[in-house]
Chain A
Amino acid sequence: GAVVSQHPSRVICKSGTSVKIECRSLDFQATTMFWYRQFPKQSLMLMATSNEGSKATYEQGVEKDKFLINHASLTLSTLTVTSAHPEDSSFYICSATRGLTGNTIYFGEGSWLTVV
């Protein structure tokens, strides 16, 4: 079946540095991918919608310059957390839709980011 893969699954970085998380659709083309953030014991919060070949659409309250999203190909979207701070530590999950109506959604395994 269709699989969405995230890398890395866990990453630790120092404050002030940037870290990139990749989201790949392994056997299908995903024109749209989504990035979610989940704090411990909380729900998933949609951060942005990543569209191949165009700028991402960010949800209200999400800093565009801090969370850079690039969807350069139909199988890859990247989330870069710039100038990371400890409060950016979180579980980041991507998803990709298959089909125009998005009625088939696949989630990546998630990436744990710890900023020290």
Chain B
Amino acid sequence: AQSVTQPDIHITVSEGASLELRCNYSYGATPYLFWYVQSPGQGLQLLLKYFSGDTLVQGIKGFEAEFKRSQSSFNLRKPSVHWSDAAEYFCAVGGVNTGGFKTIFGAGTRLFVKA
């Protein structure tokens, strides 16, 4: 079975500064990797996903993530954070298990943006 770890419970960055949210996964094969964003009281919005191919993935809202197999990581980055980026970010890993395909979520990282 797969697992995913987001080491940082919360991160605070200044508006305009760069951002990196960490995500490490465990899975026996090449996983499907996702980053979602959730605003308070809202559902999930997919930022980007990786299945295969180019390990640097571009997403919406200026986000990108890089799959590093050797480090079992899929960190999310943004060069310049906007105040509207403040939200909860979830890394997820999908894979085929005995029960079929499942997607497991990390604990989430809360992003605070200060002026």
Q: Count the B residues whose beta carbon is within 8 Å of the partner chain — how many?
A: 24
> Are B107 and A43 in contact, CB atoms less than 8 angstroms apart?
yes
19 pairs from A and B in contact (CB 8 Å cutoff): A32-B100, A41-B110, A43-B105, A44-B105, A93-B43, A95-B103, A101-B32, A101-B96, A101-B101, A102-B94, A102-B96, A102-B103, A103-B51, A105-B34, A107-B44, A107-B46, A108-B43, A109-B43, A110-B44
> Are A102 and B101 in contact, CB atoms less than 8 angstroms apart?
yes
Q: A residues within 8 A CB of B99?
A: 49, 57
Q: A residues within 8 A CB of B67?
A: none
Q: Which range holds the interface residue count of chain A? A: 20 to 34
**Known contacts A46-B103, A57-B100, A95-B103; A102 and B32 CB within 8 A of each other:** yes
Contact residues of B between 58 and 115, Cβ < 8 Å to A = 90, 94, 96, 99-108, 110
Q: B residues within 8 A CB of A102?
A: 32, 94, 96, 100-101, 103
A101 to B49, CA, bound (A): 14
A27 to B44, CA, bound (A): 19
Chain B proximity mask over A34-72: 1 for CB below 8 Å, otherwise 0: 101000011111100101000001000000000000000
> Are B43 and A110 in contact, CB atoms less than 8 angstroms apart?
yes
A interface: dominant SS? strand
Q: A residues within 8 A CB of B32?
A: 101-103
Q: B residues within 8 A CB of A57?
A: 99-100
Instruction: List the interface of chain A (C-beta within 8 A of B).
Output: 32, 34, 36, 41-46, 49, 51, 57, 93, 95, 97, 101-103, 105, 107-110, 112
**Known contacts A93-B43, A107-B44, A109-B43; A46 and B96 CB within 8 A of each other:** no
- How far, in Å, is A62 (CB) from chain B's closest CB? 13
A49 to B97, CA, bound (A): 12
Q: Which of A32, A43, A51 meets B106, CB within 8 Å? A: A43
Q: B residues within 8 A CB of A32?
A: 100-101
Q: A residues within 8 A CB of B36?
A: 107
Q: B residues within 8 A CB of A108?
A: 43
